[in-house]
Amino acid sequence: MPLGRTWQVAAGSAAIGLAVAAGTAVAAGPWESGRRTAERTRAAALDRQRHPAPAAPAATAAPPPPLAAQVLAPVPAAAAPATGGSGPSAALPAALTARLDQLMAAPGLGHAPTGAVTDVASGRLLYGHGADTPGTPASVTKLATAVAALTALGPEHRLTTTVVRTAPDRVVLVGGGDPTLELTGLAADTAAALKAAGTTSVTLAYDTSYFAGPAQHPIGPNENLALVTALMVREGRLDGSSSGPATRADDPAKAAAVRFAALLRRHGVTVRGTPAPGSGKGGARLAAHGSAPLADLVERMLTNSDNDLAEALVRQTALATGRPATFAGGAAAVRAELARYGVPLTGAVFTDGSGLARADRLSPRTLAALLALAASPAHPQLRPVLTGLPVAAFTGTLTSRFTGGPGAGLVRAKTGTLTGVNTVAGTVLTRSGRLLAFSFMADDASSPADAQAALDALATALARS
């Protein structure tokens, strides 16, 4: 990547992150969640190359990084989203509005595409093109999943997998709904606990009761999603991949238990027979494994459009709000958590957490409101919704989009794609330093490539403004 473009990406990403974090830095203490580590490190390194700081006197605290000081000053902090507004700040310049209208008529977007643009600082709707018309959001549904999960559970929450002992020689691997689970450390801790108790031979069962209802998504078997179960290792993937489509285990829970048994044997514990389903209720805990914090999981879910994480998090949200960990329970939980913020939900339909279901419905106004909400200093717990958005021409599902254009590094957005459906929703920093949230949706696009190009042109027009 040329140095000039690298700087644009890093600085643009930094500007967006610092803009939304500015209003919360004082109240929340040192800001750690406004931009992911890799982006922060790159931006800081490039800044040091261009603005080497003089050595600070011995006993004098170092000044804040120049990049932070430069970006924080001109960009206002975001406010809680509003549902509308009037006056000069409630509209885009006439020329930009006309340009957006022209781009919305692109043949690649099919019949009656819709869109909305919101000013993040005020929460006002600046532009609407069928803004209240519900459409199929596809994977952009994950924005709603993320907001609901972070609200119900908090950004520091971890998904916990445990091993319990229900009899002197019987242990149970109890799933905690963590699709990112790795078993190496858990097996080592379990073996150590068993040996400390004088046990070197056991039978192994596995418990998936943490989740309920059908494990199969309504779309049926699909390489984009494993069975939704409370116990799996690395999303049930049978290859070395960490994202995207992959061949999955037919029974992810059993595969995880078989893998765990093999690891116990490596640590000198004999596992008799084949692991079988069983209950760990009432067992004494031997070991536990916690996932990465929920903030990190949300970022991963959005950056890679991770369907397995989305379906796991929507069930976790259901459980946290007293609902069954099912597709229906998760859908009800998401709606309830969003309603707490006053997010416009007219015509909204939730059926899953990933957006793979065509029955899902959200309007562009709703999606833009979710992004403005995540930028509000009143809700710092939602910041991973923004920091998890892919960066144009740089990360995740936007790596190969916006390349070579003015939107590179300045647009951050979640994409959604199903056959005939193309959606994009995110944030963009304008040339004047204004942070906008946007959502553009096409429900009957005939060419995915043409639809993506048309959607990218809309976001690029905002970046140019």
Could you list the active site residues? 139, 142, 305
CB-CB contact of 398 with 391 (8 Å): yes
The one-character DSSP state at 61 is P
Residue 139: what residue type?
S
How many Cα atoms occupy the beta-carbon half-sphere of 101 within 13 Å?
Answer: 8
Residue 382 CA to residue 303 CA, distance in Å, equals 15
How distant, in Å, are the alpha carbons of 291, 354, 383, 395, 409 from that of 399? 27, 20, 22, 5, 10
End-to-end CA distance of the chain: 25
Query: What is the SS3 assignment for 276?
Result: strand
| Residue 132 identity | D
**Residue whose entry in the numeric block shows the structure tokens 């007293």:** 322
Q: Is-contact 132 363, C-beta < 8 A?
A: yes
Contact (CB, 8 A) for 39 and 303: no
Q: Which pair of tokens denotes residue 212?
A: 């309920």
Beta strands in 94-169 (DSSP E): 114-119, 125-129, 160-167
- Quote the CA–CA distance of 413 and 305 in Å, as a whole number: 11
